[in-house]
Amino acid sequence: MTKRSFCCTAAVAAFAALASAQAPVPVAPPGGRGVTGPIAAPAGGLGGGRFKIYDPGAISRGLTAYTANCASCHGATARGTKTAPDLIRSSITMHDTDGVQIGDTVKGAAHEGAAKLSLSSEQFYDVAAYIHSRVIESSGRGQVHTADVLVGDAKAGEAFFNGAGRCKTCHSVTGDLKGIGAKYDAPALQERVVMPPRTAGKGMPANAIQATVTPATGPPVKGALLRVTDFDVIIRLADGTQKSWTRNHGVPKVETADSLQAHYDIMTTLKDSDMHNVTAYLAGVK
């Protein structure tokens, strides 16, 4: 790993100028759609941050904090450099909610080896708002209105659902997705096709990330992952109680399984035409 400490105020200023010249905050995309589109956070609660519309104030504070603290290595537009990875296509970003996972990564031992940074959780929230807004901007799927959504071909969407899209391997329009077209309006439905919310209600969400913790001695313990860093791991057991371990050099071992992984994969590969077609198809499943 390249070790480089970040210290130089002149460089910060230079990067700030560069970033604001090259990466304007996406508050007013061409086409006249404002930042206050109808897609809010998913009704169920914590989704990945990717499709959440953040407050423009947070995005613009985030750009400043990003530019000062991260751009030197991750690039002015977060697309990565020779020294540090792309944060737009990062799976950490994909799994991040409001800067929590990004913050944990930056505070983790591996990242501290590259850069010692002390940002508050509010600053990580802002930085994440900026990064997530860049993700939305890059995917061209930011503010979606009903008229833009239901432009697909329902028949082609049905074929995709049952065929190439492999949706049928997990879903059925007469089973779990019965009545889905009546349950959500078009933008909410499209959002769920791309990325269902992580939590669906109280208690242990069915689609939480599942962790198996294998302590140095004793049998493996399974539960819903609440937090894992280089230093500790916390899970929620089936009975609702929490259990935590301190970690040292990867012990205890933590393995995770994510029932929404298919949707993360869908999110990065789904073509806009397939997305529109499958949404039009499901909108008709009443």
For binding to ligand HEC (CB under 6 A), which residues are involved?
1-2, 4, 6, 69-70, 72-74, 83-85, 87, 90-92, 102, 105-106, 110-111, 114-115, 117, 119, 127, 161, 165-167, 169-171, 180, 192-193, 196, 200, 206-207, 259-260, 262-263, 266, 278, 282
Q: Smaller CB distance to ligand HEC: residue 69 or 133?
A: 69
Q: Report which of 149, 127, 153, 226 is spatially closest to residue 194, judged by C-alpha positions.
A: 149
| Smallest distance, ligand HEC to C-beta of residue 2, A | 6
* CA 13-17-20 angle, 5° bins: 130
| Smallest distance, ligand HEC to C-beta of residue 67, A | 10
| Smallest distance, ligand HEC to C-beta of residue 221, A | 23
Q: Smaller CB distance to ligand HEC: residue 111 or 222?
A: 111
Q: Smaller CB distance to ligand HEC: residue 168 or 243?
A: 168
Q: Smaller CB distance to ligand HEC: residue 5 or 217?
A: 5
Q: Smaller CB distance to ligand HEC: residue 3 or 219?
A: 3
Cis before 219 (ω within 30): no
Q: Are 251 and 214 in contact (CB under 8 A)?
A: no
Indicate the burial class of 240 (C-beta count within 10 angstroms; 0-12, 13-18, 19 or more): exposed
* Alpha-carbon gap, residue 63 to 23, rounded angstroms: 9
* CA 200-202-203 angle, 5° bins: 110
